Structure 1
């Protein structure tokens, strides 16, 4: 065999080896994007999963449910975390691209409404909350002795939590509402603003020891005569008593299912379910 042929054979063998390694790595590389509500939980689950499956690499980012769903449409993710179901428009977009999805409902979350720790308000009914968030009630002294304007800290329109709260209350958010990128930014804003009110994932507060320092979680009443329920009351959530509780979704393209399935199986098994609960969320009965 001449030198030129030997070189060609070696190059071909090396190319095949690199291609095999690349395919192997790709088969164990998972990209997960979407809901800021779910991102901390996803990180915790991925860390535990990786301890037993060191050959897997899982990249996780937030940015909102809408971003995760768009990433699936663009082929940039294997899992979209979403705190809301797909819209009719999104369903049609997936159908138009012939992308078939598997839908997993893996946990239950509650949305918490928070104010500054010095705000005298402890509970709020839905009618008053709606007036506050849509801008019809502009000052705190209409419902408390606090003589300050109301500053609203909310999410961007791509957020599943934004859509969830808006639909549950049947409102459009005030145009003066501050649009924040996530739970942490909302909480940090309210901690330094005695006028502030915002909404965050209850699981985020429960899972982060310092998250509730400087803020107060409001109890929610459906009307003036109903019971006040806290989103941090696990039994109330299990009994489906809290008005702002919802399922958490994961959408997976069928083409990604083979590599994603071991992770999904982990989070749905006993170890994953324990971690979901420990992170401040609620597991669903199988």
Structure 2
């Protein structure tokens, strides 16, 4: 199993619990981004790709050209959280302002938070599904000054040490790290300046689809690997599996397969 850094911690926990139930089941898990997971399927280096985005038209074509059949599972709903240093005097932001910050149009916190600090952006590489998701939702190109980090953990550590930083991580990831809560702050998001701000860690907002940056999480599975993978997928859907998904800060939606 390879792919999404958003999903990797959850995948490891699910695998650890499942292998207790079935010690004969063996699975190796790594992150690296949704794009890497999908490429690994194309190259025959993985059975399962975790992805925080749908397949692109180009990827669909590549699978067709190689005659590789896939099964698609949507196993949870995720929200992307925008985080700043706990000391930064800001609690919420609207998406227009956020887009201007991430694209580099706004470069100082003075206009947004009332403090004269240059803004440092902590983002992901272009192979990241979260990177693609944010870019698409805000309809922007990221600032060239944006730091490209390898995953959620690195972004959180960067923000902890940088009072002028802003970054984006899986809400489940930051919610699952109690220590992060004292050093970083999750911003509430408003679509319009006069809207009620919504939090990515508010289950009511997520269940009502009111949070702007929420999305399904996918698992793409090689059809030829389905028989050996299915027991693990069944475990994810079980009460124990669903409980673990919730504990990691994700949200359960009705499973469907394609």
TM range (shorter): over 0.9
**Distance in 2 between the 1:104 and 1:212 partners?**
31
Larger radius of gyration: 1
SS in 2 for 1:212: helix
* Aligned partner of 2:70 among 98, 101, 122: 101
Question: Which runs of structure 2 are paired with 1:24-103 in the superposition (5 Å)?
Answer: 32-103=1-72
Structure 2 distance, partners of 1:84, 1:129, is: 21
For residues 261 and 140 of structure 1, what CA distance do their matches in structure 2 show?
Answer: 49
Q: Deviations over 1:212-245 (max 9, x none)?
A: 2311100000111111001111111111110000
2:196 is equivalent to residue 227 of structure 1: yes
Deviations, residues 56-109 of structure 1 (Å, cap 9, x unaligned): 111000000000000000000010000000000000100010000000000000
Is 2:248 aligned against 1:276? no
Matched, 1:249 2:218: yes
Q: Distance in 1 between matches of 2:14 and 2:252?
A: 14
CA–CA separation in structure 1 for the residues paired with 2:41 and 2:178: 33
> What corresponds to 2:83 in structure 1?
114
Deviation at 1:211, TM superposition (A): 2.6
Partner of 1:135: 104
Structure 1, gaps ≥5 residues long: 1-31
Q: Following TM superposition, by how much is the alpha carbon of 1:208 offset from its aligned partner in structure 2, in angstroms? A: 1.9
- CA distance in 2: counterparts of 1:183 and 1:213, whole angstroms: 17
Listed one character per residue, the Cα deviations across residues 135-180 of structure 1 (whole Å, up to 9, x for unaligned) are: 0001000112210101000000000000000000000000100000
Q: Which runs of 4+ in 1 moved over 3 A?
A: none
2:139 maps to which residue? 170
Q: State yes or no: 1:262 paired with 2:240.
A: no
Higher relative contact order (CA 8 A, sep 6+): 2
Q: Kindly state the Cα deviation for residue 209 of structure 1 after the two structures are TM-superposed.
A: 1.9
User: How far off is 1:271 after superposition?
Assistant: 1.3
- Match runs of 1:205-224 below 5 Å: 205-224=174-193
Unaligned runs of 5+ in 2: none
Q: C-alpha displacement at 1:279, in angstroms?
A: 1.1
Distance (whole Å) between structure 1 residues aligned to residue 38 and residue 162 of structure 2: 33
- Which residue does the alignment assign to 1:184? 153
1:148 paired to 2:117? yes
When the two structures are superposed, what TM-score results if normalisation uses the length of structure 2? 0.97
| SS of residue paired to 1:216 | strand
